[in-house]
Amino acid sequence: MNPSPQTEVPHVVIIGGGFGGLETAQRLAKSKVRVTLVDRHNYHLFQPLLYQVATGGLSPANIATPLRSIVRKQANCEVLLAEVVDFDLEHKRLILADGELDYDYLVLAAGATHSYFGRDEWAKFAPGLKTITDATEIRRRIYIAFEAAEREPDPEICKAMLTFVVVGGGPTGVELAGALSDIARHTLTHDFRHIKPKDARIMIVEAAPHILAHYPDDLSARAAEKVRKLGIEVHTHTKVTEVTEDEVRLSGPEGECVVATNTVLWGAGVHANPLGKKIGDALGIETDRAGHLPVSATCQVAGQDEVFAIGDIATYTDSEGNVLPGLASVAMQQGRFVAETITRLAKSEPIEGAFVYKDRGTMATLGRPFAVAQIGKRQFCGFFAWLLWLFVHLMLIVQFQNRVLILMQWAWSYATFNRSNRIITGEEPVKIVPPSPELSKK
Amino acid sequence: MNPSPQTEVPHVVIIGGGFGGLETAQRLAKSKVRVTLVDRHNYHLFQPLLYQVATGGLSPANIATPLRSIVRKQANCEVLLAEVVDFDLEHKRLILADGELDYDYLVLAAGATHSYFGRDEWAKFAPGLKTITDATEIRRRIYIAFEAAEREPDPEICKAMLTFVVVGGGPTGVELAGALSDIARHTLTHDFRHIKPKDARIMIVEAAPHILAHYPDDLSARAAEKVRKLGIEVHTHTKVTEVTEDEVRLSGPEGECVVATNTVLWGAGVHANPLGKKIGDALGIETDRAGHLPVSATCQVAGQDEVFAIGDIATYTDSEGNVLPGLASVAMQQGRFVAETITRLAKSEPIEGAFVYKDRGTMATLGRPFAVAQIGKRQFCGFFAWLLWLFVHLMLIVQFQNRVLILMQWAWSYATFNRSNRIITGEEPVKIVPPSPELSKK
């Protein structure tokens, strides 16, 4: 409505309001630049807790904070709700689905989504967990499965309905399976009349030799032990060869097998946002199989000093030849570095040194109060690690209200084994219940 | 899976887990019957607070409690997630979308939805507010409107984008408009760079001479005064004659007029669930224009002693010839009466007397701490009425956790003017932003 202030300061455009993009925007608050943060959604999503939404422990809004409210006091930053579809690098311009946007500096922080390793037709049977829509869809499937089983007279079909296959033994898969076990063994105990929710079969399928393969061996083993104690089957060295509406085919050390199930949840594979490949193609830079855009030691894209890529959309290889993992902390540290770099460039100062990642550790929860954590060189496991996990995640959540609400919701869930957000939403909540004409004869 | 207990007690089937159906089920806890509560959704929805979800004050799960968890301890009650499509009254059987269900007693408590007075084509431009899907859709439209206006260079179009027309001056419309005013004048104050959210134009359009027409004249006048103070235009004696994607046509005392707007919210009209008409047609009973099924003084359907209809799906005319209003308290009191009646019938005792409605009052909030309330013959208005409203609504919410969480969320919103649930969800949140090719020139 009112025109932008006609300032002469450089315009920094950041694509993506995730951990990396938001950190970049906020670290530019005191720089002599104007910042536009472009995102397809109007909120920053705290992805590490998305599995809690998918399992009914938290509401979507608990982990999604409006971007505008986060940067409302940052005068040099504006938020633009828009979809970037292409680049005109020559004219330093973004092509939006419904307009254009010029930049002086561009920070690509559009993240990644899950990947079906070329079998995209599996997506409709095995939803992944990257967005709020994904999470509410998974929540719907989990609770609908119990509802359908309650109505099913045929014990074989009922068993299939209560079989949950989680593909991928990384943090997402393991946390999802752990929460599923809590639901089956505690939350729903008294809710049904014809089934015992604790009879649910929960499987983790992982192609690698261990679950949580990126964790130290010790922790990975402790996690596997805990997961088995929760009644979850762990199938390592096992690949998924087919997924259909009512079964999943596995190929493992004991050969092929077919598991009858209506609920397959996808926690495997990562594919960078296609915008990375778009820039790569335009500049003749090859992206890797997962679509990651390689960047220089200063997070710049080769041949484009004013274009940076950070977080899950980029591949950063450190001075020792290691590729940095796809973690929020990597994206945030890169965001900080890029903000400092742009600040220097805007003042026509040279860039100082290369980006250096400080590994502050990683952690995952497994069911009720248990977690594994690696902090620097120290490892923790069990209840203390869980408290640590709780503390770190609450501190990281952007907005104060959410912290308090989440803590209260957790305290309540912990005391009562309850999950209050297990509502089934979506247009047609009943439709996926399979026909059971025998119902009236129950 | 396991067969139902082979008891000989009568089977009471209740259609609908709203205020009336749930009350009936719970009041049958100690009766010698088995109860099946059938609903299309797996939750009880606290509809009086739905406008809070639609305006981003609360999360859907705050006002939706899983039906199973409400009746988990009631051994004689089971919940069935299913859609009823027809009746076979002769064989005392329900036809479900995917099965059948026999009953001995049937309680029809399927409620009502909004009505477009025969202009169903308006539905897609003017969403109503009866379900969680409705509420998140309205939330999406409200916040997208501000986002679109922020990007719009043409002041005329921008003005249309910031025009909100609420059709209907009943409690739903008035509470929605009040919350919209809070959003525009407080919540979003610092969020935008190109628009002033408080410039938003909010209109209530009401065909009757007053808003809150069912309230005592005094209260209705006080409410109208307050609503105007909130900056909301009130157009009474005014009918909507056309709704399209970008305008609404009104016909009022000053003749016809056209209002350019992208956001029309529908708070008018009621139409009973079509199941009422289905039963009416089967029995040759005429339903009224809004599809309400008339019932006897004992809430029974003529000619079917074992079929009861309560709440918004029925028309109950009391001994003085007054038709009872469509309020939660009517449905709940009818539920209690029907539960007692069925208990007596199951023991082969005669029905005692007719249903008598005790009017305990009614109340509505209007923006920040202000409400109007009528309790018995007393009327309250302002801050005290708002405290009363808060207390009554918190006490009524079914599950303890929700009470605490809602109170906290409200306390926070009240202290900070913030609405933390204003996330835009849905598959394609960006798509309704209209094209603005001028964007890069801003």
Report the chain A residue with the minimal C-alpha distance to residue B68: A191
Q: Nearest Cβ partner of B72 from A96, A150, A190?
A: A190
Helices B400-416 and A400-416, packing angle to 10 deg: 170
Q: What pLDDT score was predicted for residue A61?
A: 87
| Minimal C-alpha gap between A143 and chain B (Å) | 9
Contact between chains at B427 and A150 (C-beta distance less than 8 A): no
Q: What is the mean pLDDT of residues A335-356?
A: 95
What is the Cα–Cα distance from B419 to B55, expressed in whole angstroms? 8
Res. B433: pLDDT tops 60: no
Res. B189: pLDDT tops 50: yes
Q: How many other CB atoms are there within 10 angstroms of residue B237's CB atom? A: 14
Helix or strand or coil: residue B42?
Answer: coil
Q: What pLDDT score was predicted for residue B432?
A: 41
Q: Which residue has the higher pLDDT, A235 or A415?
A: A235
- Which of B42, B100, B152, B188 has the most A C-beta neighbours within 10 Å, making it the best mutation to test the interface with A? B42
Contact between chains at B438 and A99 (C-beta distance less than 8 A): yes
Report the chain A residue with the minimal C-alpha distance to residue B402: A420
| Minimal C-alpha gap between A353 and chain B (Å) | 34
Whose tokens are 């900080």? That residue is: A336
Q: What pLDDT score was predicted for residue B241?
A: 96
Q: What pLDDT score was predicted for residue A254?
A: 87
| Minimal C-alpha gap between B316 and chain A (Å) | 31
Q: What is the mean pLDDT of residues A92-107?
A: 95
Angle at B125 between CA B123 and CA B126, to 5 degrees: 65
Phi and psi angles of residue A362, each rounded to the nearest 5 degrees, phi first: -160, 155
Q: What is the mean pLDDT of residues A281-308?
A: 95
pLDDT band at B424 (very low <50, low <70, confident <90, very high): confident
Q: What is the mean pLDDT of residues B55-60?
A: 88
Asked if residue A197 lies in contact with residue A184, where contact means CB atoms within 8 angstroms, the answer is: yes
Taking contacts as CB-CB distances below 8 angstroms, the residues of chain B near A102 are 440
Helix or strand or coil: residue B193?
Answer: coil
Q: What pLDDT score was predicted for residue B426?
A: 65
pLDDT band at A417 (very low <50, low <70, confident <90, very high): low
Taking contacts as CB-CB distances below 8 angstroms, the residues of chain B near A429 are 40-42, 81
This model of the complex carries an ipTM of 0.85
Q: Nearest Cβ partner of A152 from B1, B82, B191?
A: B1
pTM summary value: 0.89
**CB–CB contacts below 8 A, A to B:** 214
Q: What pLDDT score was predicted for residue A103?
A: 97
Give B18-27 pLDDT, tens digit per residue: 999 999 999 9
Q: Which residue has the higher pLDDT, B423 or B311?
A: B311
pLDDT band at A28 (very low <50, low <70, confident <90, very high): very high
| Minimal C-alpha gap between A312 and chain B (Å) | 22
Res. B248: pLDDT tops 70: yes
Res. A5: pLDDT tops 80: no
Q: What pLDDT score was predicted for residue A20?
A: 97
Give how far Cα A78 sits from Cα of A16, A103, A423, Å: 13, 13, 35
Contact between chains at A408 and B409 (C-beta distance less than 8 A): no
Q: Which residue has the higher pLDDT, A418 or B34?
A: B34
Q: What is the mean pLDDT of residues B281-301?
A: 95
Give B318-367 pLDDT, tens digit per residue: 999 999 999 999 999 999 999 999 999 999 999 988 999 998 888 888 87
Which run of H or of E encompasses A101?
strand A99-102
Q: What pLDDT score was predicted for residue B38?
A: 97
Q: What pLDDT score was predicted for residue B238?
A: 97
Taking contacts as CB-CB distances below 8 angstroms, the residues of chain B near A435 are 98-99
Res. A285: pLDDT tops 50: yes
Q: Nearest Cβ partner of A61 from B59, B155, B431?
A: B59
Angle at A30 between CA A25 and CA A36, to 5 degrees: 35
Taking contacts as CB-CB distances below 8 angstroms, the residues of chain A near B153 are 1
Contact between chains at B191 and A69 (C-beta distance less than 8 A): yes
Taking contacts as CB-CB distances below 8 angstroms, the residues of chain B near A85 are none
Q: What pLDDT score was predicted for residue A429?
A: 41
B386-393's contacts with Cβ under 8 Å and 24+ in sequence apart are B388/B363, B389/B363, B389/B364, B389/B365, B392/B363, B393/B48, B393/B49
Nearest partner of A116 among A10, A241, A281, A282, judged by Cα? A241
Contact between chains at B64 and A429 (C-beta distance less than 8 A): no
Report the chain B residue with the minimal C-alpha distance to residue A60: B59
Q: What is the mean pLDDT of residues B150-161?
A: 94
Q: Nearest Cβ partner of A42 from B3, B98, B143?
A: B143
Contact between chains at A426 and B66 (C-beta distance less than 8 A): no
Q: Nearest Cβ partner of B425 from A132, A190, A437?
A: A132
Sequential DSSP letters for A25-78: HHHTTTSSSEEEEEESSSEEE-GGGHHHHHTTSS-GGGSEEEHHHHSTT-TTEE
pLDDT band at B442 (very low <50, low <70, confident <90, very high): very low
Q: What pLDDT score was predicted for residue A426?
A: 65
Residue ranges of alpha helices (H) inside B118-250 are 132-151, 155-161, 171-182, 217-229
Contact between chains at B151 and A404 (C-beta distance less than 8 A): no
What is the Cα–Cα distance from A181 to A201, expressed in whole angstroms? 9
Res. A7: pLDDT tops 60: no
Contact between chains at A433 and B62 (C-beta distance less than 8 A): no
Res. A110: pLDDT tops 70: yes
Asked if residue B401 lies in contact with residue A418, where contact means CB atoms within 8 angstroms, the answer is: yes
Report the chain A residue with the minimal C-alpha distance to residue B152: A1
Taking contacts as CB-CB distances below 8 angstroms, the residues of chain A near B191 are 66, 68-69, 72
What is the overall mean pLDDT for chain A?
Answer: 89
Contact between chains at B420 and A429 (C-beta distance less than 8 A): no
Res. A436: pLDDT tops 60: no
- Any bridge partners for residue B13, and if so which? B36, B106
What is the Cα–Cα distance from B77 to B34, expressed in whole angstroms? 6
Contact between chains at B43 and A97 (C-beta distance less than 8 A): no
Identify each DSSP E strand in A153-276 by its residue range: 163-167, 201-205, 232-235, 239-243, 247-252, 255-260, 263-266, 271-272
- By annotation, the residues of B acting in catalysis are 175
Please give the single-letter amino acid code of residue A114. H
- By annotation, the residues of A acting in catalysis are 175
Which run of H or of E encompasses A85?
strand A84-88
Contact between chains at A82 and B150 (C-beta distance less than 8 A): no
Of A412-421, B278-287, B379-388, the range with the lowest mean pLDDT is A412-421
Please give the single-letter amino acid code of residue A390. L
What is the Cα–Cα distance from B405 to A401, expressed in whole angstroms? 11
Q: What pLDDT score was predicted for residue B397?
A: 76
Structure tokens at B181: 């005013």
Nearest partner of A22 among A74, A96, A88, judged by Cα? A74
Q: What pLDDT score was predicted for residue B347?
A: 94
Q: How many other CB atoms are there within 10 angstroms of residue B207's CB atom? A: 18
Contact between chains at B420 and A61 (C-beta distance less than 8 A): yes
Please count the residues of chain B.
Answer: 442
Give how far Cα A5 sits from Cα of A420, B86, B153, B190, Å: 47, 63, 14, 16
Give B101-125 pLDDT, tens digit per residue: 999 999 999 999 989 988 999 999 9
Kind of pairing, strands A293-294 and B77-81? Answer: unpaired
Q: What pLDDT score was predicted for residue B356?
A: 95
What is the Cα–Cα distance from A21 to A12, expressed in whole angstroms? 11
Of A70-74, A176-180, B79-83, B389-393, the range with the lowest mean pLDDT is B389-393
Residue ranges of alpha helices (H) inside A183-236 are 217-229
What is the Cα–Cα distance from A197 to A353, expressed in whole angstroms? 57
- Which of A42, A85, A140 has the most B C-beta neighbours within 10 Å, making it the best mutation to test the interface with B? A42
Res. B436: pLDDT tops 60: no
Res. B6: pLDDT tops 80: no
What is the overall mean pLDDT for chain B?
Answer: 89
What is the Cα–Cα distance from B411 to B413, expressed in whole angstroms? 6
pLDDT band at A101 (very low <50, low <70, confident <90, very high): very high
Res. A106: pLDDT tops 70: yes
Angle at B65 between CA B175 and CA B340, to 5 degrees: 95
Res. A439: pLDDT tops 70: no
- Which of B1, B37, B439 has the most A C-beta neighbours within 10 Å, making it the best mutation to test the interface with A? B1
